[in-house]
Structure 1
Amino acid sequence: MKYLSLIVCYFFLFACAPSKKKVCEKIDDGIRTYLEKVASKQNKELTINQLTTIDFEMVGAGRLDTLIQQNYGKKISRFLTLQKTATNQANVRAYQDSVNYYAKLDSLTTLQITTRWRDPKVYYYSKTIVNMTTGDQKLVDTMRYALDKSFKLMPLL
Structure 2
Amino acid sequence: MRYISPVCFLFLLAACAPSKEKICGKMDDSIRRYLEKSNKDLAIHALKTTDFVMIGAGRLDTLSKESYGKKMAYFSKRYTASGNTAKADLDSINYYSKLDSLTTLQIANRWQDPKIYYYSKTYLSATMGTKKTADTVHYALDRTFKLIPIQ
Q: Give the TM-score, by structure 2 length.
A: 0.94
Structure 1's unaligned 5+ residue stretches are: none
Equivalent residue for 2:70? 74
Q: Distance in 1 between matches of 2:118 and 2:134?
A: 22
Confirm or deny that 1:33 pairs with 2:33: yes
Deviation at 1:116, TM superposition (A): 2.2
Distance in 1 between residues matched to 2:92 and 2:134, nearest whole Å: 30
- Equivalent positions of 1:1-157 (< 5 A) are 1-40=1-40, 44=41, 46-88=42-84, 91-157=85-151
State the identity as a percent: 55
Distance between the aligned counterparts of 1:5 and 1:123, measured in 2?
Answer: 32
Instruction: For residue 114 of structure 2, give the secondary structure of its aligned residue in structure 1.
Output: coil
SS at match of 1:82: helix
Mapped to 2, the partners of 1:19 and 1:151 lie a distance apart of 15
TM value normalised by structure 1? 0.90
- How many corresponding residue pairs? 151
Q: Distance in 1 between matches of 2:109 and 2:9?
A: 36
Q: Which runs of 5+ in 2 are unaligned?
A: none
Describe the SS at the equivalent of 1:2.
coil
Does the CA-based 8 Å contact 1:53-1:128 persist in structure 2?
yes
CA distance in 1, matches of 2:80, 2:65: 23
Runs of 4+ in 1 over 3 A off after TM superposition: none
Let me know the Cα RMSD of the aligned residues: 1.3
Query: 1:102-157, CA deviations, whole angstroms, 9 ceiling, x for partnerless residues?
Result: 11110111111122234335211000111111211111011111111111111101
> Is 1:58–1:121's contact at 8 Å kept on the other side of the alignment?
no
Contact 1:73 1:106 in 2 (8 A): yes
